Structure 1
Amino acid sequence: MNALLEDLTWRGLLANSTDPRALEAQLDEGPVTFYVGFDPTGPSLHIGHLVQLLTARRLQAAGHRPLILVGGATGLIGDPKASGERVMNSKEVVAGWVSRLREQSSQFVSFEGENAARMVNNLDWASSISAIDFLRDIGKYFPVNRMLDREIVKSRLESGISFTEFSYVLLQSMDYLELFRRYGCRLQTGGSDQWGNITAGVELVRRASGEHVHALATPLLLKSDGTKFGKTEGGGVWLDPAMTSAYALHQFFLNAEDSKVIEYLKAMSFRSREEIMDLEQQTLSSPHRRAAQHALADDVTDLVHGEIARRHAEEAARAVFGSAELARLDEPTLAAVMAEIKAVEIDPTDGHGPAVVSALVASGVVASKSAARRAIEEGGAYLNNVKVTDIDQTIEPEDLLAGRYAVLRRGKHTIGAVRVNR
C-alpha cells in the first residue's frame, strides 16, 4: 500500500474513499493537488476542523499540494442540518468570518516550497455565474431523484426544507469542478459526515469533463458514549483563543477518556508510531499517570496556540492545584482560568470582603456553610493555595488576584473560584 495511505489507515483517518486502488495509483504517480473546504458558519474553526487541517498537513508532508477553501459562497447558504433550517447570516458577517477562518487555517499548512498551499474562496467564482448559467452548466447534471434520496434531505422532507438548502450540494460540487479546471485538483478530503456532498462533487467532475477524480473521508471522532468529541457543556472547543483559551484547550485534552485517547493521539498528533504505541502501553499499565493524555494535550495545544501559550497553561494548572504561585499568572491567563473554573460573582458584606465560608459554598467547592466550616476545622480548605485556619476569615482586597479573583480549594482536587464585586 502507498505509504501515505498506509499511515492514514493506521491512524484511523481513512473512513471512505471513492476508489482505493485508483487513488493509490494516483498518489504514486507524483504530487497530487487536493482540497479541503470549510464553510464560515461561525467566527471560528473547531476541533473537528482541526482533524481535517492536520490531515491536509500530512498529505502536504508527503509531497502533495493543498488548496484550502473557505466557503464565502457556500457559507451564505449553509449545508442542510437535521435540526432544521439554518439562520441566514448577512453578507458582511460571513465576509468577516471568511477572513478569520482563512487566518486560522493558514497556520497548519505551509505556503512555501514546491508544494506550497494555496488559499481559495468559492465566492470568487460563484459570484460571477448567473442563475441561468448555474442551472444550465451545473444543475443539469443533478437528477432530482438522487438528491431526494440523500439522507439529510429525506430527514427534512416532513418538517420542510427550503430550495436554498436543498440546492447546497450543487454549489459545493461546483467547487470541485472549478478547482479541477483551475488547478488540476484531483482529490477532495473531508469528514465522513460530508461524504454525500464530496461524492457529488466527484460525480459532477466526471459528468462535466469525463475525468475521474478522487475523494477520501476521515471518520468523526467520537467519545465512548457515541457523542461527538469536541463538544462540552459550554459548547464547542474552538481554535480561536478568545473562544477557547490555551488553558481550556489543554485541560480539555487532559480529560480525554483512557479508552479513546490513543485514537485521538493518532489523529491529531505527529508523534511516530513507536511513540504512540509506547503511550498506549503506558495507558494500559499505568493509567493513573495519564501519559497519553499529557502528550495529546501538549501536542494539540502546541499546534493550535504555540509552545509558549501551552507552557503558560501548564503553569496555570499547577498554580490552581497548589503546585505553583497563583500570583505569578498574568491577567489574560488568570482570566482564562477563571472562565474555565466558572468563577461566580459574589458581593462584599457589612463593609468587609465576603466570608471565606460563603465563598466556598458559592463557588461550589462545598455544599453548605456547615460543610465549609468543617473543611476549615479539618485543615482542608484553601484560599489562593493558603490554608484557611479561621472560620470567620474574610476575603479582603489584598487577597484578590488581579484585584478581583479568589481561588477556593478543598483538599487536592476540588476547585472553585469567585469574582468579588467592588
Structure 2
Amino acid sequence: MRNVMDILAERGYIDQVTFEDELRELLGSESVTFYIGFDATADSLTLGHFLQIMVMMHMQQAGHRPIALIGGGTTMIGDPSGRNDMRKVMTREFIDYNASRFKEQLQQFLDFSEGKAIMDNNANWLLDLNYLDFMREIGVHFSVNKMLQMDAYKNRMEKGLTFFEFGYMLMQSYDFLELYRKYNCKLQLGGSDQWSNILGGYDLVRKLEEDKVYAMTFKLLTTAEGKKMGKTEAGTIWLDPNKTPPYELYQYMRNVDDRDVEKFLALLTFLPMDEVRKLGALQDAEINKAKEVLAFEVTKLIHGKEEATKAQNAARALFSGGGDESAVPFTEMDKKVFEEGIGILDLLKDLGLTKSNGEGRRLVDQGGISIDDVKVEAIDKIVTLDDFKDDKILIRKGKKVYHQVRI
C-alpha cells in the first residue's frame, strides 16, 4: 500500500509539516492516531470543512485512526485567526445543538465501528478546568511575546484583542495534550490558517510528555481568483441538504472556473490521479465534461449516488432540454399569495434569490430574471396565477440559478 503522505502530496493537500521525513516513516510503519478539530459555530459543516474530511478519509483508508474533535469548549471562546473582530459569544445550548449536528454529518464520512475512528468533544475537559491549576500546568509554557508575533494575534492588535480570545491557543494546545494522554494521539491536522495554534499544541506535548508528536496543515480550499471556495453571493455552501440542496451543490461545482477543475477533482474526489489529469487537460467546450464529472462525484460523496443522479438529470433538463427537473430547488407557497398577486422584487427576496429590492431591481433592469423562459421586463411586474402552468413556475436568475415555485 502506498504511503498516505505520498497520496496527500500528489493530490495537493499538504501545506506545512513538522519533521516531514520522520512523519512519513511513521505513517508507513504503523497505524497513527490523529485528530482534526471542528468548532461548532453553525448547525452544519461546510464545503470548506469537506476538504478536511477528505483528508481524514484518505488517512483512514490507509489504516490510520481519526479523532473528530468537536469544539464544544473552544467554540465558547472563538478562534481569533483570520478575524478582524471578536466572534459573537454563543450560548452553551446553541453550541451543544451545533455539536450534535456535526456528529451526525461526520458519521456519514468516517467509519466509527470497532474503534476505527473516535469522536470526542473538548467540552468534556475544558468546561470544568480550574483556572489556577491550568495556568500553573499549561500557561507557564507559553511566551506572550511569541504569541503576539503570530498572525492569529498580530492582525488583531490595532483593533483590540481581548484576554478572553487570547486564551484560545492555550485551550487548543491543551486539546492535543489531552488527546495524546487519552488516545496516544501523535498528529494534529488542520487548515493552513491554524498553523500557529497547531504548533502551540505540538510544542506543549513535546515539552510535557517528552515524546515525538507531529503537526501538518493543508491548503485552504480557494479558487483560482484567490477566493475562499464555498462562499457565494447567496451565502455559504453547506453539507446539510436542507441548507444547500444537492442540486445547488451540483450546480455550484458544475460552474467552477476552468482553471480550478483539475485542482478540485484532486482535492474533493477519489478519482485516480491519471483520470484527474486527463480530465483537467480538456480544453474549451470539452472541459464541461470534466465539470460534470466533478459536480457528480462531489455531490455523490456528500449526498449519495441517488441524489447526485437526480441533480445531474435536473441540470440536463434545464440546460440540454432532456432529463428530469424534479430535483431543482423549490418553494411551496400559499395559492392565495398569487390570487392577490405579489411583486417580482418581493417574490425574489422571499425566495432568497436576492437580499434586497435594490439587488432585484438591478437584475430585472439587466434582463437577468426570467419566469418560464420569459424575461421579466418591468420591476413592477406582479406575479399572479396567470403566470403558473400546472401549479408551478420556474424562475431563472442570471444564466445558472433556477428555482421553482409550487402552489
Find the counterpart in structure 1 of residue 303 from structure 2. 305
Note if 1:162 corresponds to 2:162.
yes
Asked if structure 1 preserves the Cα contact closer than 8 Å seen for 2:4 and 2:28, the reply is no
Query: What is the alpha-carbon distance in structure 2 between the residues aligned to residue 382 and residue 238 of structure 1?
Result: 27
Q: 1:415 to 1:24 in 2, by over 3 A?
A: closer
8 Å Cα contact 2:394-2:404 kept in structure 1: yes
Q: CA 1:384/1:177 → structure 2, altered by over 3 Å: closer, same or farther?
A: same
Instruction: Tell me which residue corresponds to 2:84.
Output: 83
**Whole-Å separation in 1 of the counterparts to 2:42 and 2:227:** 21
The answer to whether the 8 Å contact 1:348/1:354 transfers is: no
Aligned counterpart, 1:294: 292
Gaps of 5+ in 2: 349-359, 376-382
Q: Structure 1 residues 397, 153: CA separation in 2 closer, same or farther (over 3 Å shift)?
A: same
1:390 aligns to what? none
User: Deviation per CA, 1:7-52, whole angstroms, max 9, x where unpaired?
Assistant: 1111111111011011012112210011111000111111111000
Partner of 2:352: none
Residue in 1 that maps onto 2:234: 234
Aligned twin of 1:375: none
State yes or no: 1:149 paired with 2:138. Answer: no
**Pairwise mapping of residues 61-72 of structure 1 onto structure 2 (< 5 A)?**
61-72=61-72
SS in 2 for 1:211: coil
Q: Report how many aligned residue pairs link the two structures.
A: 388
Q: Using the TM superposition, name which of 305-314 and 65-74 deviates more.
A: 305-314
What is the root-mean-square deviation in Å for CA atoms of aligned residues? 3.6
Aligned equivalent of 1:99: 100
Partner of 1:406: 393
Q: Is 1:122 the equivalent of 2:111?
A: no
- Report the equivalent of 2:133: 133
Residue 4 to residue 287, structure 1, CA distance change in 2 (3 Å): farther
Q: Using the alignment, how far apart are the partners of 1:32 and 1:79 within structure 2?
A: 27
Percent identical: 35
Aligned to 1:376: none
Aligned pair in 2 of structure 1 residues 277, 366: CA closer, same or farther (>3 Å)? same
Query: Please, what TM-score do these two structures have when normalized by structure 2?
Result: 0.85
Distance 1:416 1:23, change over 3 A: closer
> How far does residue 193 in structure 1 lie from its aligned partner after superposition?
0.7
For the residue of structure 2 that corresponds to 1:15, the secondary structure is strand
- In 1, distance between residues paired with 2:179 and 2:370? 60
Q: Is the deviation greater in 287-296 or in 28-37?
A: 287-296
- In structure 1, how many angstroms separate the alpha carbons of the residues matched to 2:363 and 2:304? 32
> Could you say which residue in structure 2 is the equivalent of 1:28?
28
Normalised TM-score (structure 1): 0.82
**Residue type of the partner of 2:394?**
V
Structure 1 unaligned regions, length at least 5: 373-380, 388-393
Q: Give the conservation status (yes or no) of the 8 Å contact 2:44–2:239.
A: yes
Larger radius of gyration: 1
Kept in 2: contact 1:320–1:407 (CA 8 A)? no
Q: Any residues of structure 2 matched to 1:28-67 within 5 Å, and which?
A: 28-67=28-67
